[in-house]
Chains A and B, each alone.
Chain A
Amino acid sequence: MSLRAAVLRHIRLPVQTLPAIGSRPQSQLSFLRLFSSHDDHLTKEEVIDRVLDVVKSFPKVEPSQVTPDVHFQKDLGLDSLDNVEIVMALEEEFKLEIPDKEADKIDSCNLAIEYIYNHPMAG
């Protein structure tokens, strides 16, 4: 009986000291939110960088002329088929599938960056 009480006393001790130590890990983890997907979107700089990289690595394009608001057909001198090809390259880079109606509207770097930034599935 006394042994049991002694053992129980020993077991109870760690529970009492927990609140003193336990509060710190919780406050550190409170802004980690491991299962939240709200912080998952790409930042605008990242989108701009990756879009410009895709456009610059297009073989018919001069890398020095590429700016974030360049127009594919007017400024870079590409034709409509090249436009579609650039949109397909962007689809591959960001793992998206852009429907045809939207893809036809994407005519310049601006529109591409906007569309990708606003797309929830951009990866």
Chain B
Amino acid sequence: MAFTLRSVKVPPNSASLEEARGRVFDFFRQACRSIPTIMDIYNLDDVVTKSQLRSTIASEIRKNTHVTNPKVIDMLLFKGMEELNNIVEHAKQRHHIIGQYVLGRQGLAQDLDTKDEGVSDFLKNFYKSNYF
């Protein structure tokens, strides 16, 4: 079974930051190589291209570049593997993938418009604290 093979592979601990970074690249390559399968399972061909998905995965990984502890990196990789497994074994549905990995970049248009755009600086400071 392809998905069980993936999850067993994560060994206990990375010795150093270099090893952890090697594991991150391995995970990224594995995710990129399963992109064709994902696009086939969820019929994403007319919604997104493979390079857009690659960029999305890269930016998700990049959100955690500030982490320096190898054990934390291992934990994040484990969660990433779990997510990849779930997606590949079709445990998610198309709207999950579209909402989390296709639309996430510019956000749903309604949220961006009404959230903080028209609010004045005074109100923003007021919401933050009493003293400004």
- Taking chain A's interface residues, is the majority helix, strand, or loop, or is none over half, making it mixed? helix
List, in ascending order, chain A residues with CB within 8 A of B29's CB.
Answer: 84, 88, 100, 103
Please state if A89 and B51 are interface contacts (CB–CB under 8 Å): yes
CB 8 Å contact bits of B45-66 with A (1 = contact, 0 = none): 0000011001100100110000
Count B interface residues, CB 8 Å: 15
- A88 to chain B: which residues have CB within 8 Å? 28-29, 32-33, 54
With known contacts A81-B58, A81-B61, A82-B58, A57–B51 Cβ distance under 8 A: yes
| Complex contact B28–A84 (CB within 8 A) | yes
Q: Does B126 contact A (CB under 8 A)?
A: no
The list of the 6 closest CB pairs from A to B, nearest first, reads A88-B32, A84-B25, A85-B58, A81-B58, A85-B54, A84-B28
Instruction: List residues of chain A with CB under 8 Å of any chain B CB.
Output: 57-59, 80-82, 84-85, 88-89, 91-92, 97, 100, 103-104
